[in-house]
Structure formats: structure tokens, C-alpha cells
Chain A
């Protein structure tokens, strides 16, 4: 359905965004929100009525993946192809969606223009992998055969979208129920659970308080309900469904008025809950912190950036203050009751220096040195940027920190602004993280109202203001010069450094760019002192690091551990080992800039130097566990296809080199490669690594170089036409062995009718129809599906 756009709306948008050349990205985002794509008439009108040029519009609108130039279907289906989703079968889910919509070739919208399907880099819900999002609704743990059901469910729920805003209860006399409302939990259905809670509590006229809390980190158990009753230990319900809510309530809370019908109705569910109240119930069970697995998940962690995880209401500034928030800022400003005298900027930097804090964005540059450089740079205005453009597929630390601890990051930024002398700051947050944008925005308003931000921070005379810039979808904008270019309204292409942003950054002014997690650690350091921070960690890597643990792991989630912990400890102790009893093959660390560390090296510690030495890198902290069914050549292909797609296209080595490398890898994965291709791949990887302009290009070959280093035999096997892990579709065939009991499960689930239904007989797979989606192997109860 294409409507003639109402051009007058563009004028209203320009009134909001401003008409300067740097308004181009916000203006295009607003236009797209209005029309759901960028109609050319609207763009021409935009150019005619602002300083934005046609060249700028074209170059920006085609650079960022968020922007669409063609009309889209009524609903947009985003299939996440982040690392965790990828290894758990996202490509097959995408194929199934495309097949269900009847798409051919490069089509992305069905004939009725009802759905448009797209692959997205990462929705940041790695523990629910594979994830599909339709408009705002997230479906986790998807599989190809569930696609039809998902679409039906979506259309069903769309019809009754009477979403009333939940009211907030202040009275906590009868107890409190905490609902995790981080993206993972929301994706896991916590909004539905919360709506059910509100409804159920209203029904029993209870005044129990429902509190939303930050991400608990146990994303493998979402949605989580945490029941707090006065004088009793907390009770945690995991993987709660809306229909469980009444039962849970009935179990813990007395209704204000007895309602026989309700009670009768829930009896059976209540029993179900009681009977399944065991430790191993797969779907729903109550947990408590004394349970061994939960204890293991939590015990080895050390929470600094994610302090008060699962307790803090993300946007409650008073609670943040009650729990020590803004104490560090008070100390810097000399307003602390404990000590007298303020910390001058140099003293703040010294404190950071003594703590040994290094940038958490990946490269690990010493934070104090960066601050010092900005402080010493001459310039009328200085800027601060919080880099929350977390684009790694398989990483969601920044998202979680921004969603759960916006005040902590803001406090870190205010302290940094004092240290470097900046008066304006920008939050650069991916547009794919709408919840983070909303929370940070609310937190900024709260801070302004409370005097933490504004013309005089806590009456100190230091002015500091913050604004949010939504990234429009380009991984390369995580690189600081590209990030700055995009804030200035240009394509996100990196510039050669030096000059570093510390001297010549945003609008040519000295600019401090730090990662979200780095800022989040600052208040803790200044509150507890550099010594306590430096006491954690190892030689050159101090403090803690937040990782998103995902992939083939029993207990995925967001974790924060002291630096120096070994990979094996993280996987085994915190993550509970590899899922489904398979064996650990490798851990991909650092995302597309990092590498695959083989199981044999799992005892290396996570610190900057050790990881770099192993060929990986800390990166921003994605940690994806791979098991023996994962093909390393396919993984290399996956990461390279990501960086190749995300290459900005500016410098030749990265623009053309990554493309040629990807072609070589594609040939290998299709069984069309030759042994000489492996040598050329290695050679070209060296060229791209040495000769690219920016960090993206220089690190893009890392996943290939590490897999070549540790798993060269798999590349050689592919050159001979074999995929040892049985993953590369062109190199494998599915067949059913004599072990088949004729249960027909595979035939029922096969989405392409490649298996004829033959009850009580051995089934057969029609190789010409088979799309190698792996469903039959997964559903077979007797392991009779053979892949080779």
C-alpha cells in the first residue's frame, strides 16, 4: 500500500530536528518513522527546505542500513543473524520465513505487501537465540517449523492490542514482585507477564507492588519473576508464562477478597507448579539463590559496572542515590560528607590512572591517558561521547548497561566531563536499542530535574549537558572517527588517525570517546578508590569485564567477571558447560574483530594481552561458545560476511579485499575450493590486516587467521569437498538409517515434504527436495538421521 506522502509533515520534522547540515540523520530517521521508508518527494522537500544537500541525503540514506528507499510491507520481520542466533540456526529460520512468504530471489516483501523480511546483525537477545522480531514483538527460540505458527500468533495478537499502561503501586506492605524488564526479558515475554500480573493483582485487589528491575543477567531463564515477601528469602520464578501468573500469585499472596471461581480455575495449574517444582523442570521452575546452578552462575561473578543487578529500578533516580549513586560525583565536587575537599580534574585523572582502567570497547587503551590528552588539548569547547554503538553480532553488554544502569553511565560521564573540561556530551546509541534510548532519555531528564545535568552541575558552576544521537545502523560507527562523522551528519567512514579525536574530534574540537562500560566503571572506582579496583584482575588488565555469554552454553547471560578468569572457568562454572552434553570446540571472543580460541587453549585468562596473543581480542565482550557441531570454516565465513557487509567502502584493502576473501571462503564452503585458495586466503588476510585504514579493516581478518591457525585441517577438508562438522549445506546430505522406528515425526515436521510419511517403516529423505534445515535430525527420537 503506497500512500502519497503528506509533505507538510517534513516541515514539522525539520522544525524538530533543525535545518542544519548535521540534522540529516535525525531528519531521515524521523521521515522514516513517519512514512516507514524514505519517499523521494519527502527527501527532495527536505533538501529544498534545509541546509541538507541532495548529495548528503543520498550518501547518508544509502550508507546506513536502517534506511529504506522502497516501501515496505505492513509488518517488518527481522530475523536476527547475530553470532548466537547464527550458530543456533538463524539461517534456516530466515529461509523458512522467506519460503512461507513465497519470496523468490532477492524479494523481501510478500505479494500482498503484508510482511517484509530482513536479516539484522544482532537484536541483542543472544540468550533467546534464534530470535525473530516482528515489529515490536520478539519471538525467541525459533525454529523453521515454528514460522507459520509465529506469523499466525503475531496476526492474532495484533488484533487485540489494547495495551493499557500499567499503573504503578507504591504500597509495598504486602510484599513486592520484581519483573526483569531488560530487552532479553521483554523478548522472553516479561511485558506479557507483567500485564498478566497487573490484571491478576487487580482481580484479587491486591496492593502488592510490581517493580521493574534491571537485567538480572540470567538471560537463559527469562522471563524472571522475583517475589519478595517481608521477612522471607526471595523466591525466583524462571521462564514464567502469562498463564502461570495467577498460580504464582495464588501461592504467595492472599487475595483481598476471596474469589472462589478464580481459585477453582487455577487449582490445576497450581498443582502443576507444585509438582514441577523440581530443579530440572525444563520450562518453568522456581529458583532460589541457594540452588546450586544459580549460585554457580552468580558466585563467580563480581559486579561493578552491573552493581545491584536485578535490584535497581533502571529509571528511579532516588533509588540509585540510595544505593550509593552519585556519591562518586559528590566526592569529586567536594560535596561528600565523608571527606572534605574536592578532587580537581588532575586528581580525578590520577585516580583513574591508579585504577589501571583500560577502554572496554575493545582495544584496551588506558583510559586515564585518553582523558589526559583531552584535558591537555587546547580548544574552546570540548565534547564527550559515550560510544554505545554496539554492533558486534553476539554482544549486548552496552545495551544491558544502558537499559539497566543509565544513571551510572551518566554519572561516569559527568565525572569525565569534570576531568577533561567538557560541557557537552553525546550518547551514541544504536537505533536497534529502542528501550535503551527510552531509558537513557528518561534518565537524562531525571538528572536535569535533579540538578546533575545543566548549566551548573550541583551548583558547582560546571556546565554539562547531554543529548542522544541514535545510530542508524552501521557497525563501522563503533570506530570513533566514523562515529564522529555520523554525528556530524556524514557517512560513517573512518578517518586516518592521528589526529586523534582527543585533539581533533567532534566539530573539530577535542573529544573524549569512551565505551559505555568504561563510563559505567568510573563511579565505582571513585567511590571505592583506585586501589580496590586495581586489586581485581591481573597485571595489565585490572578490574572486571562484562561479557555476554551465549551460543552453545547451558546458562547464557550477561556476566561480569574479574579480569584474568580463564575461559574454561567462565564456560564451565558460570555457564554450566556446553549445552546438550556436547563438547566444547572453541570460544569465539571479540566478535567479528576477534577470533576463535580452541578448547585446547581454554585455560588462557581473559586479559587484553593474553587474548591478543592468541589471535583474538577482548573486543567489546561477546563470548560465543561453539560445540563440535559447529564448522569453523563456516564460522569464518559468517564473520567475514558480516565485516564485508559492514565495511564502509572507503579504503581499497578493506572494500575490495574483504570481498575477495569472502568469495574464496564461499567457494570453500560450497566445496568448489582448491588447496591453493587456502594459501591465497591467508595471504589476502595479511594484506587486509596490514593495509586497511581503520580498525574494522585491520581486524576483519582475525576470525579467519585464528581459524586458519587452530583449525587448518578443516579448511583442507573443505578444499577436498568435506565438511567434518556436517554444517556446510553444499557438502552434506541427510539420510535416515536403519535405526528409524517409523515414528513419522520427521515427515510431519519437514517443511518441504522431502520425507514421505511411512508409519512403522524406515523413512527416506528425498535429497532433491531437502533444504538441509536440520529439523529432522533434531526431532528424531532415536538419532536415526545421518548427516555426512
Chain B
């Protein structure tokens, strides 16, 4: 058993093992995109590079066989830079979105595509839950929101945007105010000053984290500026219904309390683990005080409340950890009409593609969604590493947008060539599993792409190995059409 040193740790690895495997034994993780257990080293992505001190060479860990006395460094600045460069090159030819344009446009980052897919399936309850979780006041916003999501909706380029706002209003109204599930009580208590949209947004988020929450409001009602809207724009009953649902989440309200005048902020700070200031006129000062400024755009105010609650949560429950890095978000950007047609081609059923906007038919309307979001927003290693290594998308900008591939969709498997990084894992797996057709590389050099031989369907290619290929695909290029993966907190 050769003994080698990886990042200063001695490790005995079986003869013939790769440096990547040896690092696993030493508990050192090395990023890799083109490696999967049981598949020979493909050395295509070149992310797993490490420094071999003896020769000074930068070598791919997956293909370097361990030798006695080897000294390997996996995390030097040079190595991290090398990995970032490769990631930036990969991203320069990436044609796809991590998040859907609608969700990206939504200040509250509502998981719109997921909600639409639930509606299209007739699962209105889940759809309503998603709407309530992300928007806090989904029915209210269904009346008053400026709906930047619909402006961003890619479908608008084809005919008209999906009626996202009408849909979240409809499901939320039908659910009569959703009481969201909360984490078990943490015993922590947070005061929220102001019961406008920002305060309500903060209160709901805090309760969902399991923190006790009391909202101080100088007026006699919750809702803030929403109360001043005419009935024609926002029926009072809808607002009441949603405030009532919040009350049912054990949010305490103290109305008629003017913090700053009647009670000093400091006393609230002393009595609570944290304070969120969601009201004008009070300066949010102090270590455990967080600001959630109101905004004339209701959804922005709600989003500010949610963000303040998250900041408070990090302080009181997570030991003051820093705000997690925003996940890398690849943008496909605006598509020209003909590109858009190619793009939309196989993403939805032909009848849904032909259907025009009709907000009263909820399922039909939700089915018009082009599902621009990625099928692997969490498991995508390209996204994870791009986030981890701080890859900047515009470093190597191609003069023209990367070609938008035609998505192939057959028998539940979906292949989005624009997201393929040509790692070769699926090609290798289909070969190993003895597929009659399988997948193969077509072309050479930059033009290389993964395709089914003789232009057959992806279904015919993956008779026995679809599951293995989807599991091995490091990005969202190969996926099952009906999988939904989301972060635990979502």
C-alpha cells in the first residue's frame, strides 16, 4: 500500500488507486465533474486538478495513480485559480438558466415554475402552499402586485406571458389562507416593529424557523399601506383572510403600540433575542436589530421582511454565521424570436404550446409554462463549484450567445444540450451497460456534442441506463422530466 501525503495528511491507499480515491480515504474532497464511481477516469473536465509537489506538475487527480511518497496539494491558490478558470470556460458556453427568469424577477423569489407545475397537475394544495411560503400574502399580491414575473416570462416572447399573478391569487383564495408548517419551537423570541407587508413577511419567516414572534404596530390593524388601498384594487376580505392565516401561525400582535414614543427600542431589544424594524421613523441601530424597510412595491416589502428574518435567524440560531453565498445563477438571457422557437420546441406539449392565455382555466394556463428553470438546481455540480470557486460568468464572453440546443424529451427523459459540459459520463455509461444505441460524441473539438446515433430518440438511446445516466450527469442536461429538486429550506 503506497503511502502518500494529501494536504499534509498521510494516507495509505491501495496500489493502483487514483489520487482522487486516496483523497477520499483521507477525508479530503476534490471537486470533479466527469468522474463517477465505476467509470474509468475520463479526464475531460479538468476540475479535479491537484499539484504533485515532486514534479511540480498540475495533474488530474482522477487519472493520477498513487505512488509511494507522493505529496499532493489540493487546495492551493494556484489550484483554486486553475479550477475557477476551467469553470469560467465551461460557463462561457453554457446555454441555460439555473433559475427561471420569472423567479429571478420576483423580489420574493417565488418558486413560480414549481407552483405552475403543481397547478397543471391539479395539485392545488401544494401550489397554494408554495405561494404562501414564498409570497406570505399570495392572494393579496394576486390583486396588487406589479408582477415583474410576467414581464420576465419567456413565454411572452412567443405569445403572451403565463398569468402567474392570477394563478397564485386563485390557488391562494381557494385555500382560504394557508397556515404554513413551522419548525419546532426554538425558545427564541423576536420582536417585529410594524405590521405592514415587511413586518408580516418577517413574522411569517420567523415563525417558520420556529422562533416566537410578536409584532408591534402603532395602528389598530395589520396590513399597513395595504389597508389604504381601494376595495376595487384589493378586496378587504382577501387581506383579512391572509392576516388571519398569519395569526393562526401563532404570531402575536400588539396593536396601538408606538415603539420609539411609548416604548423605547432599547427595552424591546432587552426583552427579545432580536428586533426587526419594519416601520419608518425608527432607526435600526444595535447588534441584534435588523431593518426591513417598507417599499411601495408590496412584494419588495415582503421580501425585505423575509431577508431581515433570515438575518435575525442566522444571528440567534446559527451563531452569527455569515450570509450564505448566493448560488451561482447562469442566465440564458433574452432570446431572439427564432432562438426562442427552437428553445420552446420540445419543452412543452404541442397543444400547450399552441394554447393562448386564458387565466380562468387554471390547469391549462399553468401548462403554458416553458419550464425555464433547471431540473437540477441543487445537485448541479457545475453550479455548486461555480458558487464555491467564485466563478464570474462574463470573464470569457463569447461573441455570440452559446447555441440554444433543442431539448429532447421522450419517455420521461429530458436532454437539454445547452447544459451539457461534454464530460462523457453518459456516453461511457451507455457503452458499459450495453445499450444497443446509447449516447455518443458527435463531431470534434469545440463542436463536439452528445447525441443519439443516427438521430434516434433519447428514449431509444436509454433503454436500460436512463437512471444511471441521469444520476451521473453533473448538470441538469440529462434529467427525468418529472423530478423536482429543491433545497431543504424550500
A16 to chain B, nearest CB (A): 24
* B446 and A655 contact, CB distance less than 8 A: yes
Does A552 count as interface, using CB distance less than 8 angstroms?
A: no
Interfacial residues of chain B within 99-151, with CB under 8 A of chain A in the complex: none
Q: Is A102 an interface residue (CB 8 A)?
A: no
Give complex CA distance A659, B446 in Å: 7
Q: Is the CB of A58 within 8 A of B442?
A: yes
Given contacts A54-B453, A496-B43, contact A649 B446 (CB under 8 A): yes
Are B396 and A655 within 8 A (Cβ)? no
Instruction: Name the one of A55, A474, A645, A647 contacting B438, with C-beta atoms under 8 angstroms.
Output: A55
| 8 Å CB contact of A647 from B398, B427, B445 | B445
Cβ-defined contact, B446 with A496, below 8 A: no
Interface residues of B in 443-458 (CB under 8 A from A): 443-448, 451, 453-454
In Å, the complex CA distance between A62 and B444 comes to: 7
Q: Cβ of A346 < 8 Å from any Cβ of B? A: no
B residues near A645, Cβ cutoff 8 Å: 445
The distance in angstroms between the C-alpha atoms of A658 and B49, with both chains bound, is: 19
In the complex, which residues 676-709 of chain A have their Cβ closer than 8 Å to any Cβ of chain B?
A: 680, 684, 687, 690-693
B445 touches A649 (CB 8 A): yes
Please report the C-alpha to C-alpha distance between residue A40 and residue B46 in the assembled complex, in whole angstroms.
Answer: 35
Residue among A474, A650, A660 making CB contact with B43, cutoff 8 Å: A650
Q: How many A-B residue pairs have CB under 8 A?
A: 131
Contact among B93, B396, B421, B453 with A55 in the assembled complex (CB-CB below 8 Å): B453
A205 in the interface (beta carbon within 8 A): no
Q: Which A residues are CB-close (under 8 A) to B387?
A: none
Residue numbers in A under 8 Å from B436 (CB-CB): 54
Interface size on A, residues (CB 8 A): 45
A471 in the interface (beta carbon within 8 A): no
Q: How far is the CB of B305 from chain A (nearest CB, A)?
A: 43
A62 to B443, CA, bound (A): 5
Query: Counting CB contacts under 8 A, is A663 at the interface?
Result: yes
> Is the pair A55, B437 in contact by a Cβ cutoff of 8 Å?
yes
CB atoms of A655 and B448 under 8 A apart: yes
Give per-residue flags for A650-681: 1 if the beta carbon is below 8 A from chain B beta carbons, else 0: 11110111111001000100000000000010
A58 to B, closest residue via Cβ: B453
A660 to B394, CA, bound (A): 12
Known contacts A40-B454, A652-B89, A656-B90; is A693 also within 8 Å of B442 by CB? no
Cβ of A54 and Cβ of B437 under 8 Å apart? Answer: yes
Residue interface mask A61-80, B partner, CB < 8 A = 1: 01111000000000000000
Most buried by B among A53, A667, A690: A53
A644 and B446 within 8 A (CB): yes
Q: Is the CB of A649 within 8 A of B422?
A: yes
* A57 on interface, CB distance cutoff 8 Å: yes
Assess whether B438 is in contact with A53, with CB atoms less than 8 Å apart. Answer: yes
Q: Is the CB–CB distance between A58 and B43 below 8 Å?
A: no
Contact between B43 and A648, CB atoms less than 8 A apart: no
Identify B439's interface contact among A55, A65, A651, A684, CB under 8 A: A55
A656 and B93 in contact, given A44-B454, A663-B398 (Cβ under 8 angstroms): yes
Q: Is B90 touching A496 in the complex (CB atoms < 8 A)?
A: no
Which residues in A have their C-beta under 8 angstroms from that of B438? 53-55
Any B CB within 8 A of the CB of A59: yes
Cross-interface CB contact of A652 among B65, B90, B442, cutoff 8 Å: B90
| Nearest opposing residue in chain A for B65, CB measure | A498
Q: Which residue, of A652, A663, A680, has the highest number of chain B Cβ atoms within 10 A? A: A652
| A46-60 contacts to B (CB < 8 Å) | 53-59
Q: Does A495 have its Cβ within 8 Å of any Cβ on chain B?
A: yes
Q: A55-B430, A57-B453 are in contact. Are A647 and B446 (CB under 8 A)?
A: yes
Tell me whether B63 is interfacial, beta carbon within 8 Å: yes
**Interface membership of B45, Cβ < 8 A:** yes
Shortest Cβ distance from A59 into chain B, in angstroms? 4
In the complex, B210 has a CB within 8 A of chain A: no
Contact call A660/B92, Cβ cutoff below 8 A: yes
- Cross-chain contact B85 with A687 (CB below 8 angstroms): yes
For residue B337, which residues in chain A have a CB less than 8 angstroms away from its CB?
none
In the assembled complex, the CB of A653 is this many whole angstroms from the nearest CB of chain B, namely 6
Structural contact, A663 and B453, CB atoms closer than 8 A: no
Q: Does B82 touch A at the CB level, under 8 Å?
A: yes
In chain A, positions 2-54 with a C-beta closer than 8 Å to chain B are 40, 43-44, 53-54
Most B-side CB within 10 Å, residue of A44, A58, A491, A644: A58
Task: Point out the residues of chain B lying under 8 angstroms from A647, CB to CB.
Answer: 444-446
Interface size of B by CB at 8 A reads 46
Cβ distance B80 to chain A, nearest Cβ, rounded Å: 13
Q: Are B46 and A684 in contact (CB under 8 A)?
A: no
Contact present for A667 and B399 (CB under 8 Å): yes
Most chain A beta carbons < 10 A, residue from B85, B424, B447: B85
A691, chain B: closest CB distance, angstroms: 6
Q: What mask results when residues 377 to 410 of chain B are scored 1 for a CB within 8 Å of chain A, else 0?
A: 0000000000000000000101100000000000
Tell me whether B448 and A649 are in contact (CB under 8 A): yes
Is there a chain B Cβ closer than 8 Å to A646's Cβ? yes
Contacts of A655 in B (CB 8 A): 422, 445-446, 448
A656 to B189 Cα, complex, angstroms: 53
CA distance A652 to B396 in the complex (A): 13
Contacting residue for B89 out of A56, A474, A656, CB 8 A: A656
Q: List residues of chain B with CB within 8 A of the CB of A691.
A: 46, 49, 58, 82, 85-86
Q: A646-B445, A653-B89 are contacts. A58–B396 as well, Cβ < 8 Å?
A: no
Is B346 positioned at the interface, with any CB of A under 8 Å from its CB? no
A488 to chain B, nearest CB (A): 14
- Say yes or no: is B431 at the interface (Cβ < 8 Å to chain A): yes
Q: A495-B43, A498-B65, A649-B447 are in contact. Are A690 and B454 (CB under 8 A)?
A: no
Instruction: Please pick, from B60, B421, B454, the residue contacting A693 in the complex, using a CB distance under 8 A.
Output: B60
| Residues in chain B near residue A651, CB distance under 8 A | 43-46
Tell me which residues from 80 to 98 in chain A have a Cβ below 8 Å from any Cβ of chain B: none
Q: Could you say which residues of chain A place their CB within 8 Å of the CB of B89?
A: 652-653, 656-657, 660, 687
* Most chain A beta carbons < 10 A, residue from B430, B431, B445: B445
CB of B75 closer than 8 Å to a CB of A: no
Q: Determine if B41 and A496 form an interchain contact, defined as CB atoms under 8 angstroms apart.
A: yes
Instruction: Give the interface centre of A55, A659, A684, A691 by most chain B CB atoms within 10 Å.
Output: A55
Closest B residue to A666 by beta carbon equals: B399
A659 to B65, CA, bound (A): 31
B440 at the interface (CB under 8 A from A): yes
Say yes or no: A58-B64 contact (C-beta < 8 A), given A649-B448, A667-B399. Answer: no
Taking a contact as CB atoms under 8 Å apart, the answer to whether B396 and A648 are in contact is: no
- CB A750 to nearest CB in B, in angstroms, measures 32
* Chain A residues positioned under 8 Å from B396 (CB to CB): 656, 660, 680, 684
Interface string of A506-536 (1 = CB under 8 A from B): 0000000000000000000000000000000
In the complex the two chains form, is B63's CB within 8 Å of A496's CB? yes
- A650: chain B residues within 8 A (beta carbon): 43-44, 424
**Chain B contacts of A474 at CB under 8 A?**
444
B446–A656 touching, CB < 8 Å = yes
Query: Which residues of B does A touch, CB under 8 Å?
Result: 41, 43-47, 49, 58-60, 63-65, 82, 85-86, 89-90, 92-93, 396, 398-399, 421-422, 424, 427, 430-431, 435-448, 451, 453-454
Of the A-B pairs whose beta carbons lie under 8 Å apart in the complex, a sample of 29, sorted by A's number, is A53-B453, A54-B437, A54-B454, A55-B430, A55-B431, A55-B437, A56-B440, A57-B453, A63-B441, A474-B444, A495-B63, A499-B65, A644-B445, A647-B444, A649-B441, A653-B46, A653-B85, A655-B422, A655-B445, A656-B92, A656-B93, A656-B446, A657-B89, A660-B396, A663-B398, A684-B396, A691-B58, A691-B85, A692-B46
The 5 closest A-B pairs by CB, nearest first: A649-B448, A54-B453, A55-B440, A496-B63, A656-B89
Besides the contacts A496-B60, A690-B82, what 7 more A-B pairs have beta carbons closer than 8 Å?
A64-B444, A491-B444, A496-B43, A651-B44, A652-B44, A658-B446, A660-B89
